[in-house]
Amino acid sequence: MSSGRPAGTMAARFAPPCCAGLLDRARATAGFMPDDEGLALHELAHRATRGRSSATVVEIGAWCGKSTLYLGAAAYAEGAVLFSVDHHHGSEENQAGWEHHDATLVDPATGRIDTLPTWRRTVDDAGLGHCVVGVVGESPVVAGHWTTPVDLCFIDGGHGEEPAWADFTGWAPHVAPGGWLAIHDVFPDPADGGRPPYELWCAAVASGDWAEDGAWGSLRALRRIRTASS
């Protein structure tokens, strides 16, 4: 009996994703992640989850799903789950009149940025719906109710003083012993970008809780060597 669907559509949609294909999709997705940093993030997610059962990756700041795919491709390959946290209304710098605004992402019904439909399409079209979970809400609220130890936490949410520190103080304590914290947009030279991500990276290093474990462009990785001191 015919389902009425065009022949081949289902097979194409549910073909298992392949890593190279997922990385190509990540490159083609709108967002703020250069490919070399995305590939480093992807490798870090492999390292953080390999050989662990039920490994947990958390992303703070997804936008349209670019970093979600770099991370999600590794989560898929390693049998891990990626929780992608975003309220999907954009950061301060994404609002009208700011540098990183995209008017095509404004919901005409509300006048607000809404990247959730695009993010969902990115994840579904990549075939990652079973291992990527969207958590839609304020990052500090989610962090405050979170209880699962995290193997890799990637912080790339709001970059202003208040949201960046709230992400760090809210999420860093959830990183498991031996787990990784990755921070994006760390710019030691103020001429290259805003200060808060760099400042919280400095604070993390100074705390003695973390060992530096790699730098690629503005992406920095830290590995937990001591239980949270605060």
Summarize as ranges the residues that interact with ligand SAH (CB under 6 A): 31-33, 61-63, 66-67, 85-91, 115, 138-139, 156-158, 163
| Residues between 81 and 140 with contacts to Mg ion, criterion CB under 5 A | none
Q: For residue 32, state whether it binds Mg ion (rule: CB under 5 A).
A: yes
**Rounded to whole angstroms, how far apart are CA atoms 201 and 189?**
13
Where b means 16+ CB within 10 Å and e means fewer, 55-93 reads: bbbbbbbbbbbbbbbbbbbbbbbbebbbbbbbbbbbbee
CA distance 184 to 197: 7
Least distance in Å: CB of 137 to ligand SAH?
A: 7
Q: Whole-angstrom Cα distance, residue 171 to residue 153?
A: 7
Q: From Mg ion, ligand SAH, none, which one binds at residue 187 (CB under 5 to 8 Å depending on kind)?
A: none
209 binds, among ligand SAH, Mg ion, none (CB under 5 to 8 A by kind): none
Pick from ligand SAH, Mg ion, none: which does 86 bind, CB < 5 to 8 A by kind?
A: ligand SAH
CB of 208 to ligand SAH, least distance (A): 28
Stretch that binds Mg ion, among 23-31, 122-130, 155-163, 172-180 (CB under 5 A): 155-163
159 is catalytic: yes
Exactly one of 42, 88, 159, 174 is catalytic; which is it?
159
CA distance 210 to 128: 31
In whole angstroms, what is the distance from residue 159 CA to residue 185 CA?
A: 8
Question: Is the distance from CB of 171 to CB of 60 less than 8 angstroms?
Answer: yes
Residue 66, token pair as written in the block:
């670019």
Active site residues per annotation: 159
Q: In the complex, which residues of this chain contact Mg ion (CB under 5 A)?
A: 32, 156, 184-185
